[in-house]
Amino acid sequence: MIVDKAIYADGVRTDIDGDISDAFDAARERGDCFLWIGLFEPSAEEFELVRDELRLHPLAAEDAVSAHQRPKLERYDDTLFLVLKTLAFTEATADIEVGEIMLFLGRDFAVTVRHGAGNPLRRVRERLESDREMLHHGPTAVLYAVCDEVVDRYGIVAHEVERQIIELERAVFDPHAPDVTERIYSLKREVLEFRSAEDPLVPVMEEIARGRVTECHGVREYFRDVLDHLLRVDTQVDAHNELLNSVLSAHLALLGQRQNDDMRKISAWAAIIAVPTAIAGVYGMNFDHMWELHTHYGYPIVLGVMAVICVVLFRILRRNRWL
């Protein structure tokens, strides 16, 4: 569906009444302006009118409707097509929700197509509308504002992931904490998904920041800042992945050590219990001629010997940290 549509001339927004055809007609009549249309998860029928009005390439139009694309920048004649992955962190489940934003940029139009509930563009539009100087750059100003917002959200998500890793580290080295193996694997999977969203975007931002996209020459300096933030996030994600590997290795090593400690305790108690069991087993044999068998104090003496040996063994094993 269409979320918003407006004409921007001299840095000022003008709302449009009517359908998309009316919006394009109004923009063409004014001349020195551009049209920004925002759509959210449009159907093929809804996007068909936009495609026909702007003469978008069928392949790009198909990508915009179906989504599930990797970050990329492509050119179709005089139209740029950019795909961005959006990220949103869910506190309750420690999951990263992934969405997509597709942008079509031409000389006098910008079309944004959003998929997924995360990263709405209302704040981007409001921020851009408050900066008339930036709006003078035309549709490329929309491209910069959207990319800047998406990358800033990457930084927020990276901070939340780091906080989750710190909590996992504390749980790993807490002997009373429950097993966190599943949480480690789950967060590692989310980090890999994070990487698949931001890493392919790096060469795209480099292309723009280095001036290889002629339409963006006027905003190259702004994209350098976006690229700097993106590279910082990329480094953080690599560090998070390595740190999770270390946390998992430490956790598995500690689990193995705890299992060994448990086995040692079981073996130690088995050794202590074996002493009275062996002695009782000897005296349980039905022979007449056995030492102390007919002695008046034989029974308490044997019990005392059992107790002494068990206590000695307990102290020895406790001193050697088997118990």
pLDDT in tens, 151-194: 999 999 999 999 999 998 888 888 777 888 888 888 999 999 99
Tell me the two tokens of residue 269: 């108690």
- State the Cα–Cα distance between residues 232 and 202, nearest whole angstrom: 11
**Given a cut of 70, is residue 141 above it in pLDDT?**
yes
Q: What is the pLDDT of residue 249?
A: 83
Radius of gyration of the chain (CA): 35
Evaluate if residue 122 carries a pLDDT over 70.
yes
pLDDT for the residue 73: 92
Give pLDDT tens digits for 28-69: 777 678 888 888 888 888 788 888 878 888 888 888 888 788
**Which residue has tokens 């394009």?**
24
**pTM, entire model:** 0.78
For residue 304, CA distances in Å to 308, 309, 310 come to 6, 9, 10
- Residue 158 is predicted with a pLDDT of 94
Beta bridge partners of 82: 73, 103
Element (H, E) at 34: strand 34-40
pLDDT band at residue 304 using 50, 70 and 90 as cut-offs: confident
| Average pLDDT, integer, range 85-107 | 88
Whole-angstrom distance, CA of residue 115 vs CA of residue 126: 20
Determine the Cα–Cα distance for residues 155 and 162; give it in Å rounded to an integer.
11
DSSP percent split of the chain into helix, strand, coil, nearest 5: 60, 15, 25
Q: How confident is the model at residue 262 (pLDDT cuts 50, 70, 90)?
A: low
Question: What is the structure's pLDDT at 104?
Answer: 92
